[in-house]
Structure 1
Amino acid sequence: MLAEHIASITAWLPVGADPRHIVDLGCGTGTGTFALLKRFPHAEVTAVDTSNSHLHRLLEKATAEGLADRVHTVQADLDATWPDLGTPELVWASASMHHMADPDRALRQVRNTLAPGGLFAVVELDGFPRFLPEDAPEERPGLEERCHAALARHHAEHVSHRGADWGAKLTATGFTVKAERTVTVNLGPPHTDAVGRYALSSLRRLRSGAAQALTAEDLTALDRLLDTEGPHSVLRRGDLTVRTERMVWAATASGG
């Protein structure tokens, strides 16, 4: 869904020379991995994630696209023992740093891992994307904003590093921030079916984090949107947009 914006970020990265070894921390199913492989056609990527199923899906896609020889996977819990990742010239961490129990430790590990002069790119989302108009749904206008507010309270208690000042954290752990930017996303309508599927997936995750703080009326309205067989399904709405922001920091180890 956001491939164009991810491509714009990889194109913007202030690398001195094209890296040959890249590490994707918290790679998921490989959105960033494949963007990096396309941007740097001579590079190999080490994709790191806690989930074996995510890594399996990533390898399946790499094989299907003829890229398996350029992708290496490492299953690891980065809050535990840090794996041997070699000395990459570029480390990419998209929407993963805020999940770390001790992100300052992880930043130090990255600093010690990077090749001399290497670049560390931290990409963070400004929360979940937004999809619905402000006056939707008709029976509970403003539902999405109330869900986001509830989720923000949940994250404040359980994901305390979301929304951190990563520029300050990078500086405090021995990096020099070379550049930073904000990428604003505002897509559609009209839109493709992919937007509906993306909205459905995101709203399901939003529900899982916000459900306990929602009123019964809001929860009922949200469930109607998530009912793919019902007439009010988000998949049947023609007024969806994708609205979000990505913040990016590009840093080298101080003196790099």
Structure 2
Amino acid sequence: MNSHHHQDIEWDALGAHREREAGLHAPALTQTMDWLRDLLRISGGGHTPVHRVLDIGSGPGVVTCLLARTFPDAEVVAVDRSPDILERVRSRAVAQGMADRVVTQLRELPSEFDSLCSADLIWSRNGVHHIGDQEAALHSLAASLRPGGLLAVAESGLPPRFLPRDIGMGRPGLQARLDAAAEDAFGEMRDQLPGSAGTVEDWPAMLARAGLIPSGTRSFFTDLPSPLGMSAREYLHTHLSRLRDQIGDRLDPEDRATLERLVDSDTCTGILGRPDAFYLTATTVHTARSCRSSV
């Protein structure tokens, strides 16, 4: 969302990776959408009218189209900073017969927050943490909510687990060390963002300080036991390859060598062929309502 390292991103490869990831999470994402629809339910069995939805940092549009399916009377606006990614959104919407209700907006956030349209529901998954001042980002998103609208922010949760502690090569506990190195790299990325501001990441409290009324937090699990299907293995192969490129220099030589063996496509010890690979993760969604009067 922010322009940090914008020029270094291979958008087509990233789009394909995020599509595969969303496919793995499809059941959990469907449960999430059902929960959001229930949160918008009002007394008497009806629902708060949802005429426009914003998908902030939409990626290739998997969730955008899921939002359109969940809220069939709404226009759904995919907001992203990559023209290539937004082209994927449009292609997906056409393929799913939603081209008349799914539109795209090319935006650089946070600099173009003021140009966002208003909405009854705003969804952002792992997008706010790419903005230097997360609290200011939530204030800007809250300002785009219509009276009674709902803001849903998917942040934190649990990092994916996909390897046993002892994988039969290298020192046991590799995944924990990969997580620690990735956490350090993430912290450095946050520190380098323009306008970076530290904050205690108590998301319900942050949403309340943005002038909203917290309306619930839930976690949705994706649990794929071994043996994994090929789509999940290919996703993990890309994930590990990206980790190698991003944090490989933070690992000791033994762990780097083990990581190289995991991304080797030609050996049975690689992630594409291991019978012990699994995939377990949780996405946590924090929600809050606008209490602004429509008068």
Looking at structure 2, the residues matched to 127 and 219 of structure 1 have their Cα atoms a distance apart, in angstroms, of 24
> Which residue pairs with 1:15 in the alignment?
40
SS at match of 1:139: coil
Looking at structure 1, the residues matched to 169 and 200 of structure 2 have their Cα atoms a distance apart, in angstroms, of 31
Say yes or no: does 1:138 pair with 2:169. Answer: yes
Q: 1:37 to 1:24 in 2, by over 3 A?
A: same
Looking at structure 1, the residues matched to 82 and 200 of structure 2 have their Cα atoms a distance apart, in angstroms, of 24
> Which residue pairs with 2:141 in the alignment?
110
Per-residue Cα deviation, 1:10-59 (whole angstroms, up to 9, x for no partner):
10110132512100001111222122122112222100111222111121
Given that 2:158 and 2:283 are in contact with CA atoms closer than 8 Å, whether structure 1 keeps it comes out as: no
Which amino acid is the alignment partner of residue 116 of structure 1?
A: P
Q: 1:230 to 1:190 in 2, by over 3 A?
A: closer
Q: How many residues align?
A: 256
Given that 2:80 and 2:107 are in contact with CA atoms closer than 8 Å, whether structure 1 keeps it comes out as: yes
Q: Which runs of 5+ in 1 are unaligned?
A: none
Given that 2:65 and 2:102 are in contact with CA atoms closer than 8 Å, whether structure 1 keeps it comes out as: no
> Which residue pairs with 1:40 in the alignment?
71
Deviation at 1:157, TM superposition (A): 2.3
Q: 1:93 to 1:4 in 2, by over 3 A?
A: same
TM-score, normalised via structure 2 length: 0.81
Correspondences of 1:27-176 after superposition (within 5 Å): 27-82=58-113, 84-126=115-157, 128-159=159-190, 164-176=201-213
> Which residue pairs with 1:205 in the alignment?
242
Correspondences of 1:232-247 after superposition (within 5 Å): 232-247=269-284
Looking at structure 2, the residues matched to 137 and 254 of structure 1 have their Cα atoms a distance apart, in angstroms, of 55
Q: 1:207 to 1:159 in 2, by over 3 A?
A: farther
Return the match for 2:221 from 180, 184, 192: 184
Q: 1:163 to 1:32 in 2, by over 3 A?
A: farther
Given that 2:226 and 2:276 are in contact with CA atoms closer than 8 Å, whether structure 1 keeps it comes out as: yes
> Which residue pairs with 1:3 in the alignment?
26
Looking at structure 1, the residues matched to 30 and 178 of structure 2 have their Cα atoms a distance apart, in angstroms, of 30
Looking at structure 2, the residues matched to 223 and 163 of structure 1 have their Cα atoms a distance apart, in angstroms, of 36
Which amino acid is the alignment partner of residue 228 of structure 1?
A: S
Looking at structure 2, the residues matched to 207 and 168 of structure 1 have their Cα atoms a distance apart, in angstroms, of 35
Q: 1:166 to 1:208 in 2, by over 3 A?
A: farther
SS at match of 1:151: helix
Looking at structure 2, the residues matched to 31 and 226 of structure 1 have their Cα atoms a distance apart, in angstroms, of 27
Given that 2:148 and 2:291 are in contact with CA atoms closer than 8 Å, whether structure 1 keeps it comes out as: no
Q: 1:144 to 1:7 in 2, by over 3 A?
A: same
Q: 1:240 to 1:231 in 2, by over 3 A?
A: closer
TM-score, normalised via structure 1 length: 0.92
Q: 1:211 to 1:148 in 2, by over 3 A?
A: same
Deviation at 1:125, TM superposition (A): 4.3
Deviation at 1:197, TM superposition (A): 1.4
